[in-house]
Structure 1
Amino acid sequence: MKQSILILLFIAYTLQLAAQSFGKNGIYQPKYEVRAAWVTAVYGLDWPRSRAVSPEGIRKQKAELIEILDHLKAANFNTVLFQTRTRGDVLYRSKIEPFNSILTGKVDTDPGYDPLAFAIEECHKRGMECHAWMVAIPLGNRKHVASLGKASVTRKKADICVPYKREYFLNPGHPQTKEYLMSLVHEVVENYDIDGVHLDYLRYPENAPRFPDAYDFRKYGKGRSLAQWRRDNITEIVRHLYKGVKALKPWVKVSSCPVGKYRDTSRYPSRGWNAFHTVYQDAQGWLGEGIQDQIYPMLYFRGNHFYPFALDWQEQNNGRQVIPGLGIYFLDANEGNWTLDEVERQMNFTRTHKLAGQAHYRVKYLMDNTQGLYETLEEKFYTAPALQPPMPWIDNVPPTAPTELTVTRQVDGYTRLSWHPATDNDQRNAPTYIIYGSDTSPVDTSNPENILAQRVQGTEYTYAPVRFWTEKKYFAVTAVDRCGNESEACR
């Protein structure tokens, strides 16, 4: 009899745990998931709309970014891909390249604040990661390059730059190109509390048989075919940047957004347009070598042009995180003829097949709630917060647990939590804290519905419920390091 009761209790507890993994609407809510959005600065597509030419202009420009971040936070996004380098110009105080003119209306003009530093600070306040999205190889058209004048890399480092079809590019076949890109990445990683470096356009122009690298190919080809030499050049840049970042700050994620179709799959052809052949990206090779922490393949397709290729990336991930880029801009009638159910099916697919998350291109279509997408995410797919998936290939040792949690109910209706800190000594990779709360004790820290706050610094937190009838009674605190390792809970 006693044994039967224990079995029934175990089944009931198992069912309870299973139910807690689902949101109030019955849709599975993973505790670990990347939920990212690209914030595009080039041409001011997403941000900024105003110019920082006065104190009021600076305030408006900052307020525009805060509005975006608040919107993302309200829908439980946790990752911002913030455009940091566009076409040979940047959105931070650099000693190498000039400020982007989108900030002030003038090339190489300081906006009166550091946009990257501001973005990182505001993301971290909201418990979100900020990744520096850096366009790698393209340098812009002739007009743009001319507008940069002496500040352009085409003037400062002419040997590593080539013209092609009315545009300029860094030359991946020149050995100094990887050093130049690393100097920019080093500047960002060393000087900013960034969570990731996200590399875009790390590829050759599409279908570029006449790209002007014949001299370099003769000099450095060493018997390889032109196609293999070009792929090796891109891979060597990826390898150099990855190792350089890890030597500085091992927890900083290195990712890229390759062309969405790697090559033909056994399930469906790429119809001649893919990363491997068209732009010389051996991105699955990068995963296999372990020189990427995350991959955001630009899967801006639907139907059989999405699902077989997303599955192919996942099957070749080598334990790294694959986060498909979803082409939500196609929901706009001026961009395509997608309907909302296309994106919903892709969301369901990524979760069913356990990909690491989703990234949405671009944030404008979230802000505009195009076809109700933002509301669908907020009310259906992202109803609970999610933590960053861990990176065990970098570090798999959790921090020590915080201790002696004290809960003080205050007369103003707020609840003050305080605890003794984790005792880890690595100050550069010091843990932050996750706050959990529920109506039952002990607090179930496996249920993402119970996450109240993440990336909390210090050893105090004030809990202020939005509505008094949703107030939590019981609390727990864990420590988490920047590789995503979480400690035992202090309750």
Structure 2
Amino acid sequence: MKQFNQLLIIVFLVTISCSQEKKEIKTAIEENPSSLFKYWAWYGAGSNVADSIHSNQFKKYASSGIDAVLIDTRADADYLSKIAPLAIKEGLEVHAWMFTMNRPGDTTALKHPDWYMVSRSGKSCFDDRPYVDYYQWLSPSHPEARAHIWSLVEGLAKVEGIKSVHLDYIRYPDVFLPVGLLPKYNLVQNEELPDFDFDYSKASVEKFQKLFGKDITKAEVPAIDIEWKQFRLNEIKAVVDGAYDIAHKYGKDLTAAVFPYPEMADHMVRQRWDKWNIDAVLPMIYNNFYNEGLDWIEFASKQGLSDLKAKQTQLHTGLYLPEMTDDELVRAINIVKQSGASGVAFFAIQDSHFEVIKASQ
């Protein structure tokens, strides 16, 4: 009888302990929702696609444990209004993914050739594009181009039910490509080449000259002019900060897809994202683009977190899945979790990956 009573006491204490632990976890989550590790997926919502196809994809995401979906509707607020409810119905958090400085096929912008960035070699993105035909970059220094971008942000921010406006291509064209992509374009980039150094548009050159009293087109080596570099970093920051104010005006967050970590982004695409007003960044730590192993994902994630330590901005690591095996994806997700990131974002999920993602939670 004595042993039975002791057993009852032990069961009671264990029950109380478990109950208290669950209560503490619940309280911690309620007080700090960001403590939850979030799973994201980028989703290209192609035009003229039946609602049933979108719904089936969203069901697949949700059943695999995806929490948030970044939906590309080409910054079409009306189309987003149609697609977003389908994702929300499946319990997904919706983020409005938009191409920002790079605006391929933008019918409004194409009416204004002077809105586009120009390379140091004098080639305008309006009709002579670097690397690929869809690189049609607007100048952040042109006031009307900037206002156009902000109007697109506002349209998306007004859509009911979305969580954030998500900026992609919020930078200049690649001064330096990821080393793993250079063979594809038969390029050697050991210095800032004139064809890939932007923005020498009239709007940008004149604005810089007004601020600093220098005509950058006369500089013998523009790459060593630190004011010229900082000017361009600041021009992108101004676009982001303006978008942040607009998004928050409508009760939405601002998020962005960015290059792996700030110093690298600065060097490669004139993007210093640790200086921005922004709620969350999703650095695209696509290790295979840089001929790096999985351990580099941890390094780049931690470097970004270190650069953000004085800010409230969350960091969710982006992974490129087409070249990952199932085993590599398991390891990559664990690496991201151990890095201290707030979540992981997947680009181009392959069929076999869904089970891996689900099992990792």
Give the TM-score taking structure 1 as reference length: 0.54
- Residue 284 (structure 2) aligned to one of 298, 305, 309: 298
- 2:157 corresponding residue in structure 1: 189
Please tell me the residue identity of whatever aligns with 1:161: Y
CA contact (8 A) 1:217 1:226 kept: no
- 2:299 corresponding residue in structure 1: 308
- 2:321 corresponding residue in structure 1: 328
Q: How far apart, in 2, do the equivalents of 1:381 and 1:211 lie?
A: 44
CA contact (8 A) 2:259 2:284 kept: yes
Q: Deviations over 1:384-419 (max 9, x none)?
A: xxxxxxxxxxxxxxxxxxxxxxxxxxxxxxxxxxxx
5+ long unaligned stretches in structure 2: 1-5, 26-33, 118-123, 130-134, 176-195, 213-225, 288-292
Please tell me the residue identity of whatever aligns with 2:335: F
Bigger strand share: 1
Q: How far apart, in 1, do the equivalents of 2:108 and 2:239 lie?
A: 21
Please tell me the residue identity of whatever aligns with 1:377: I
Q: C-alpha displacement at 1:136, in angstroms?
A: 0.5
- 1:160 corresponding residue in structure 2: 115
- 1:374 corresponding residue in structure 2: 354
SS at 2:271's partner residue? Answer: coil
Q: How far apart, in 2, do the equivalents of 1:350 and 1:260 lie?
A: 13
Q: How far apart, in 2, do the equivalents of 1:319 and 1:217 lie?
A: 34
Q: How far apart, in 2, do the equivalents of 1:11 and 1:283 lie?
A: 48
Structural mapping, 1:6-405, within 5 Å: 9=13, 13=17, 17=21, 32-41=36-45, 47=46, 51=48, 61-85=50-74, 90-93=75-78, 115-140=79-104, 145=105, 151-155=107-111, 157-162=112-117, 163-164=124-125, 165-166=128-129, 167-207=135-175, 208-213=196-201, 216-221=204-209, 222-223=211-212, 225-249=227-251, 252-263=252-263, 274-286=264-276, 291-301=277-287, 302-317=293-308, 318-331=311-324, 339-363=325-349, 365=350, 368-369=351-352, 373-378=353-358, 380-382=359-361
Q: CA distance change for structure 1 residues 314 and 14 in 2, over 3 Å: closer, same or farther?
A: farther
Q: CA distance change for structure 1 residues 298 and 9 in 2, over 3 Å: closer, same or farther?
A: same
- 1:406 corresponding residue in structure 2: none
CA contact (8 A) 1:138 1:201 kept: yes
Structural mapping, 1:421-432, within 5 Å: none
CA contact (8 A) 2:55 2:86 kept: yes
5+ long unaligned stretches in structure 1: 22-29, 42-46, 53-60, 94-114, 264-273, 332-338, 383-491
Q: C-alpha displacement at 1:281, in angstroms?
A: 0.6
Q: C-alpha displacement at 1:119, in angstroms?
A: 2.0
CA contact (8 A) 2:262 2:274 kept: yes
CA contact (8 A) 2:116 2:201 kept: no
SS at 1:35's partner residue? Answer: strand
Q: C-alpha displacement at 1:219, in angstroms?
A: 2.8
Aligned length: 290
Q: C-alpha displacement at 1:341, in angstroms?
A: 2.5
User: Structure with the greater relative contact order (CA < 8 A, sep ≥ 6): 1 or 2?
Assistant: 2
Q: CA distance change for structure 1 residues 192 and 12 in 2, over 3 Å: closer, same or farther?
A: closer
Q: How far apart, in 1, do the equivalents of 2:198 and 2:88 lie?
A: 45
CA contact (8 A) 1:260 1:299 kept: yes
Q: C-alpha displacement at 1:255, in angstroms?
A: 0.5
SS at 2:323's partner residue? Answer: helix
Q: C-alpha displacement at 1:279, in angstroms?
A: 0.7
- 2:31 corresponding residue in structure 1: none
Q: How far apart, in 1, do the equivalents of 2:203 and 2:83 lie?
A: 42
Bigger helix share: 2
Q: C-alpha displacement at 1:211, in angstroms?
A: 3.7
Please tell me the residue identity of whatever aligns with 2:260: G
Q: C-alpha displacement at 1:354, in angstroms?
A: 3.0
Q: How far apart, in 2, do the equivalents of 1:133 and 1:321 lie?
A: 17
CA contact (8 A) 1:132 1:196 kept: yes
- 1:441 corresponding residue in structure 2: none
CA contact (8 A) 2:43 2:70 kept: yes
Q: C-alpha displacement at 1:374, in angstroms?
A: 1.1
Q: How far apart, in 1, do the equivalents of 2:20 and 2:286 lie?
A: 38
Q: C-alpha displacement at 1:242, in angstroms?
A: 0.2
Q: C-alpha displacement at 1:168, in angstroms?
A: 2.8
Q: CA distance change for structure 1 residues 352 and 219 in 2, over 3 Å: closer, same or farther?
A: closer
Please tell me the residue identity of whatever aligns with 2:360: F
Please tell me the residue identity of whatever aligns with 2:110: T
Q: Deviations over 1:102-160 (max 9, x none)?
A: xxxxxxxxxxxxx31232111221221111100001133xxxx4xx7xx34120x4432
Q: Deviations over 1:426-445 (max 9, x none)?
A: xxxxxxxxxxxxxxxxxxxx
